Amino acid sequence: MSPPPLRVRGLCVGPREHRVLDGIDLTVEAGHFLGIVGPNGAGKSTLLHAIVGLVEPDAGRVELFGEPLTRFNRRRLLRRAGFLNQKQETPSTLPLSARDVVMMGLPEWNAPLWRRVRAGETVTRALEMTETANLAGRDFRTLSGGQKQRVRLARALASDPELLLLDEPSAALDTHARDMLYALLRRLCDERGVAVVMVEHDIAAISGHVDSVACLNVRIHHHAMHGERIPESIWRAMYGEHMHVVAHDSHCIGCHNGDET
């Protein structure tokens, strides 16, 4: 049996007296769709950054595809992963087509100029999957926020990743595009066995699609599987005493119709 694409063991980031992440344990098997929710400043983005080696852990370790992540094997292991960074605040001014942006996701893209890089089948498929094939020739700077976000997602998919790490991918997307995105991620998990870790704010929006939800605020307070109820005490521990749990639909992980207050 092949090792899980992602395993995090006792991960701590930040000084002992002021941890940003504290004792994180996570295992994400192939084909599993994990949603991570939590308030602002909970360490959600830091966790994703630590997984790809952008943040050095102060304790614990990250294993990708069964190998502990080090600075020496980082590049090789990350070739098998796709990463979507949080939406950029300052828009890029580079004159690029959307296809150019997607091609940057190819592992061979960073090769020297004398090696020709072609937009192969995976680029075309990534553009089609994200419904951006019609935008491929357009200037990236002129696209709307939602279109840019879909192109950036296509870039993360261009390398045909086995592990996909997404930091608030639905930012700037309208309802249709957001539903399309979650359905696409669900398909990638079910049909291609991709392991997906997605950070989002809105648990209600993702809970119908993910296999499990991890509630993160510095540490993981609860890890609920699909259909499992998240106790109200967990929500209060994460968001504070003044929060109100409002149930909305029967698919929501953690919410039951009797929970509304």
Partner 1 sequence: MIAFLDSEVMRAALPPALTIATVASSMSVMILAHRLAFLAVGVSHATLAGLGVAVLLSLPLLPTAAVTAVIVALLLAALPEHRGLDHDAGTGVLFAGAMALGIVLLSSASQYEVDMFGLLFGNILMVSSEDTAWLAGAGLVVLAALALAARPWWSMALDAVTAAASGLPVSLYRLLLFAVTGLTVVICVRLAGIVLTTGLLVLPAATAWFWGRGLFRLWLLSLLTAITGTLIGLYLSYRMDWPSGATVVLALCALFALSWGSSRLVGGRARAF
Return d(Cα 60, Cα 175) in angstroms, integer: 38
Three-state secondary-structure class, residue 96: coil
Report if residue 162 touches partner 1, rule: CB under 8 A: no
Least gap, CB of 254 to partner 1 (angstroms): 29
Phi, psi of 67 (to 5 degrees): -115, 135
Three-state secondary-structure class, residue 48: helix
Return d(Cα 184, Cα 132) in angstroms, integer: 13
Q: Between residues 1 and 72, which has the closer beta carbon with respect to partner 1?
A: 72
Report if residue 176 touches partner 1, rule: CB under 8 A: no
Q: What tokens does 101 get?
A: 């942006």
Report if residue 96 touches partner 1, rule: CB under 8 A: yes
Return d(Cα 235, Cα 244) in angstroms, integer: 9
Least gap, CB of 228 to partner 1 (angstroms): 31
Which residue in 95, 118, 175, 241 binds partner 1 (CB under 8 A)? 95
Report if residue 138 touches partner 1, rule: CB under 8 A: yes
- Which secondary-structure segment (H or E) carries 70? none
Q: Between residues 139 and 228, which has the closer beta carbon with respect to partner 1?
A: 139
Return d(Cα 87, Cα 153) in angstroms, integer: 11
Least gap, CB of 82 to partner 1 (angstroms): 9
The binding site for partner 1 (CB under 8 A) comprises 49, 52-54, 74-79, 83-85, 88, 92, 94-97, 100-101, 104-105, 107, 109-114, 117, 137-139, 141-142, 152, 155, 165
